[in-house]
Amino acid sequence: MDHLLVLVRHGQSEWNLKNLFTGWKDPDLTEKGVAEARTAGRLLKARDLAFDIAYTSELSRAQRTLTLMLEELGQQGLETRFDEALNERDYGDLAGLNK
């Protein structure tokens, strides 16, 4: 049986736009980030990919990216597992500071 692992980074966040360290802080996606997530979903659908399960971090920007992608794929009910191990690195006191 063939298996395929697809890795996708979350769409642009408000802090990405401002060039700030994010880490475990949880800014929302920008309009561009929403569009990026939807585009990723459409690209995967164009390749006729369907998934058995999804994994995402505990951060809302990653979860929202996944949700938007799954909407485009028509797989809104897909089993999803949330794991802290998939969160971005914790920047500690650097979070919120300019890069």
Residue tagged active-site, from 3, 10, 31, 36: 10
Q: Which residues of 24-54 are buried (b: 16+ CB within 10 A; e: fewer)?
A: ebbbebbeebbebbbebbeebeeeeeeeeeb
Pair 79, 54: CB distance under 8 Å: yes
Question: Of residues 72, 79, 84, 88, which has the active-site annotation?
Answer: 88
Dihedral sign of CA atoms 6, 10, 12, 18 in order: negative
Known catalytic residue: 14? no
Helix (H, G, I), strand (E, B) or coil at 29: strand
Residue 3 is a catalytic residue: no
What residues are labeled active site?
Answer: 10, 88
